[in-house]
Structure 1
Amino acid sequence: MPASSLSFRKTGTKPGRAVALALAVTLCLSQAGPAQASFLGDLLFAPTYNEEYVPGTYGTRADCRNPNSGPWRGIVGGRKSVDLRTVQFSREGCFQTEAECRAFLNYISAYLTLVFTAQCSRR
């Protein structure tokens, strides 16, 4: 057979790879939970590191002023050492499940140097 009559099928074309990549990204993003999304958002979109920053819940779906936020209320209080001074922080969030509330406590506690209180209770 002459070489000109042979046809070769090329695998992995650019449109095929783009579709596979889009599918993989969609699957990965659908598996990310709310705490992960917030953490990744803090890492990716924070313009600079701020030592005094501790995430809050105001204006989010975990804001306790929102009547649909959920029956579980989490409260975290503590202090953080910033430069040569100590800054007091407290955060409150309301969630649908106790597991989400506990995840909130762990997430906020990671920002603090010393935690005084961390509790989840039904409101």
Structure 2
Amino acid sequence: MQILIRCVAEKDGDDVAPELFEWLVDNADARRHTAPKLKPDAPRTGQLGTLAVIQLALSGAFSAASLGVVIAQWRDQRRLAGAPKITVTVEKDGKQFTVTGSDPDEIQRKLDELDAS
């Protein structure tokens, strides 16, 4: 499953996609099985802070469940550090969902729904 991940910060100018990208690259399984790529992106209408997008492919070795855990851990780490709130949007074939919390089960369910559609 080929997906795109956009991260939008609560305040303008806080480019958080590279931060999640580094988190993925630091995760040995994600780095080995998904080959994440950071690509430039323009803000969408009404969005602030989206300057890059992460592109990656999920496989049996690194599934939706694995990505869900990584995103949840990253969001939780940001929250504990007192970082500004962010919105993470995952997109596949024009369909998307927004991650609003740090629950890996919720993220996995949404990723599974994207994969099934």
Same fold (TM over 0.5): no
Higher relative contact order (CA 8 A, sep 6+): 2
* TM-score after normalising by structure 1: 0.27
* TM-score after normalising by structure 2: 0.28
